[in-house]
Structure 1
Amino acid sequence: MEPATGVEKLHVLIDEMAVSIQRHTDVTYLEALAEAGENVFQHSIVQSLPDQEAERLQNKLDQDLPEEMKREEIRKAFQLAVIKGMKEAVQPHHAMTPDAVAMFMGYIVEKLTSKRENLALLDPAAGTANLLSAVLNQVSKDTAAYGAEVDETLLKVAYVLSNLQEHDVELFHQDSIEQLAPPEADVVVSDLPVGYYPKDDIAAEFRLQAQEGHSYVHHLLIEKCMTQVKPGGFFVLLIPNYMFESDQADALHAYIKDEAVILGLLQLPSSMFKNTQAGKSIWLLQKKGPNVVQPGQALLAELPSFNNQDALLDMMKQMDNWFKEEGFTS
């Protein structure tokens, strides 16, 4: 059956190019995907492939590339391909933020910053920039975006994805805990990587270092980003539900109490996860600063299934009221 939508057409095209590049150049699928994205951006086959194969792919590019591609179509087409590549890669930190969740986080960022004329956005664990670009596609104001990522392959995909969507994104190849180079941000949005941070000498400089053994990478990232966010800036973070029950939770609570106010915690539907231990929530924080006050009532909710449109719309109406009552929207 012929692919019908722009997303399907672009996905089929970039997947076929990536498979060919992988076969002829002995790279991983994710590396080949970044190369395929570059071909789409340049509208030309830029790799050194056998002449006949390069000509075949160029013809496919000329004939099958949709004439007009919306940003969300580009993002979703690449997302499908990235998921395939991550199954092959099997590294534990290679995981894609669910599409509905990424869009929902973008909606939250737009609401929190509705009274600001421009915005600086940071993802310290950007991966392929899928979450970052999903948020950028939701935000209506002039936005500069920064992404940091330690994995060079994911960063290459992020670079191509950002270029194709014509987003103003500056990308940094770095360990965000050891070094975070981007300018100050108004909002940190991230699907926090979870686990232990191996560099104990670096962790020793942090207030949230573990008293024994390795420190948690997700704790250290929060502390590092707290120094990178402007006073009054926001955090919209995807976190594991068990984070507040871990052996280092008390230290995290004390740190957040000193540095920020908790705006809300939105638990994702349990149906999204294979088991309860894998459950996640969206955590909303605001860094302390002038005119920052604790909300009259924190936004606490268990989100309905994203497939239940009526229940989700009802929840968003309640959230819209909360944003208005707390002064984030007019």
Structure 2
Amino acid sequence: MNFTPIEELFHKFDETALILQEELACTYLDALGETGENFFHGNVVQEEVSELSRKRLSRQYHEFSLEKYSKEDIRKAFQLAILKGMKENIQPNHQMTPDAVGMFVSYLIGKFTNNNYELSMIDPAAGTGNLLFTILNHLSDKRISAYGVDIDETLIRLSYSGANLQEHSVQFFNQDSLEPLFIDPADIAVSDLPVGYYPNDVRAADYELAADEGHSFSHHLFIEQSITHVKPGGYLFFIIPNGLFLSEEASKLNDYLKKTTHIQGMVQLPLSMFKSEAAAKSILILQKTKEGVTPPKNALLVDLPKLSDRRATESVMNKIDAWFKEEK
């Protein structure tokens, strides 16, 4: 059979992960992280694998060559295997940013940092790293130092394996992202915000956006943490729920953003991307305040059409280009 490179890679990741899942008595996602590490090293690094399985696996790893595949093919194939694992073990925090969204965020970052060749970037809710890797793959003309943080050990392991396979130099931190981060302020923060309540009220009390009563919104705290960890004048790109500014804590969030940032724009993503209108999201673009940096005369406000509608998409892209010519 003639497989595409993505299909070929997916079958390699899947087949070897299934063997390791049985050998190590672990979940598919954990086994996928392990096999990703093996592909990178070219051999079986787990000592507890039986001799028979070791031979079967070694053949796959020795035949594998990173040079044969593009970074995007590797990312997409690894992503497909992760999605398979997530279907077996669904958890609310195991959500992956859709490719189309990651690509559009990459496009926006490229536009806003047009004159910068070297950048540092942090994702405080890195998850499987898919958003980070999409950006790094699509902004290959820039030298980006990237940092990813996530509390979930399985997800950070998958991020680590994915970074190695795509040969991206990313520093990952397995910790609660809302605890102190020992990372220098970055030029850019990007995050598909985890929506919900933060259970640690003691830690939340250190934030300006902590709720006056009860648990605080974790997505509000992630916004504040990101702003804290971006350099003055740096940009922030958040994938937010459309109802972000409609909650009971919205006025406090609004006041905080007015004080610390300039709102550059909001891009509403197509409703067709989401299961329901209630699940729909937008991209919020902020710039941290800095002496000499002024807010735009008019914020960039765009509703993205279905990306399959070429004419409507071209019209929106022209509108964005015109905004950059006028404002930047």
CA deviations over 1:19-38 (Å, ceiling 9, x no partner): 11111111111110111101
1:122 and 1:319 map into 2 onto residues whose CA distance is 25
1:46 maps to which residue? 45
Amino acid at match of 1:154: L
Letter in 2 for 1:101: V
Conservation of the 8 A alpha-carbon contact between 1:30 and 1:85: yes
In structure 2, the partner of 1:114 is 114
Question: TM-score, normalization: structure 1?
Answer: 0.95
Q: CA deviation at 1:227?
A: 1.2
CA contact (8 A) 1:9 1:66 kept: no
1:64-79 equivalences in 2 (<5 Å): 68-79=68-79
Q: Distance in 1 between matches of 2:274 and 2:280?
A: 6
**CA 255–3 in structure 1, closer or farther in 2 if over 3 Å, else same:** farther
In the aligned structure 1, how far is the partner of 2:214 from the partner of 2:247?
14
2:6 maps to 7
Q: Tell me the distance in 2 between the aligned counterparts of 1:274 and 1:167.
A: 32
Give the corresponding residue for 2:147: 146
Q: What amino acid is the match of 2:223?
A: I
Change (3 A) 1:3 1:44: farther
Name the SS for the 2:291 alignment partner.
coil
In structure 2, the gaps of 5 or more residues are: none
Cα deviations by residue, 1:165-213 (Å, 9 ceiling, x for unpaired)? 1112111111111122221100001101000000000111111110111
Give the match's secondary structure for 1:137.
helix
Counterpart of 2:304 in structure 1 is 303
3-state SS of 2:16 partner: helix
Q: Deviations 1:260-286 (Å, cap 9, x if unpaired)?
A: 011111111111111111000000000
| Larger mean Cα displacement after TM superposition, 104-113 or 3-12 | 3-12
Question: Which secondary structure state, in structure 2, belongs to the residue aligned with residue 286 of structure 1?
Answer: strand
Rounded Cα–Cα distance in structure 1 between residues aligned with 2:177 and 2:260: 19
Partner in structure 2 of residue 232 of structure 1: 233
Give the secondary structure class of the aligned counterpart of 1:320.
helix
Deviation at 1:307, TM superposition (A): 2.2
Q: CA deviation at 1:293?
A: 1.3
- 2:188 aligned with 1:187: yes
Tell me the secondary structure at the aligned position of residue 27 of structure 1: coil
User: 1:155 matched to which residue of 2?
Assistant: 156
Q: Matches of 1:308 and 1:46 in 2, distance apart? A: 47
- Give the aligned partner of residue 136 of structure 2: 136
Task: Tell me the residue number matched to 1:276.
Answer: 277
CA deviation profile, 1:1-59 (whole Å, cap 9, x unmatched): x3522111111100111111111111111110111101110111222322222212222
Instruction: Determine if the alignment matches structure 1 residue 174 to structure 2 residue 175.
Output: yes
Unaligned regions of 5+ residues in structure 1, if any?
A: none
Please tell me the residue identity of whatever aligns with 2:11.
Answer: V
Deviates more, 1:218-227 or 1:318-327: 318-327
Question: Within 1, Cα distance between the matches of 2:146 and 2:293?
Answer: 24
Asked if structure 1 preserves the Cα contact closer than 8 Å seen for 2:39 and 2:64, the reply is no
What do the CA deviations read for 1:76-114 (whole angstroms, capped 9, x no partner)?
A: 111111111122222111100001101111111111111
Whichever residue aligns with residue 249 of structure 1, its letter is A
1:231-281, Cα deviation, whole Å (9 max, x unpaired): 010011100001111111110001001010111111111111111110000
Summarize the alignment of residues 186-225 of structure 1 with structure 2, pairs less than 5 Å apart. Answer: 186-225=187-226
TM-score (norm 2): 0.96
Identity of aligned residues (%): 48
Quote the Cα distance in structure 1 between the aligned partners of 2:2 and 2:246. 46
Partner secondary structure for residue 93 of structure 1 = coil
Separation in 1 of the partners of 2:72 and 2:292? Answer: 36
How far the C-alpha of 1:306 sits from its partner, in A, is: 2.0
Give the letter for the 1:132 counterpart: L
Amino acid at match of 1:14: F
Which one-letter code corresponds to 1:20 in the other structure?
Answer: I
- Look up the equivalent residue of 2:77 and give its one-letter code: A
Aligned length: 326
1:115 is displaced (CA, Å) by 1.1
Change (3 A) 1:149 1:66: closer
For 1:279 and 1:166, the matched residues in 2 are separated by: 33
Q: Which position in structure 2 is the counterpart of 1:30?
A: 29
Contact 1:9 1:65 in 2 (8 A): no
Q: How do 1:64-103 residues align onto structure 2 when only pairs under 5 Å count?
A: 68-103=68-103
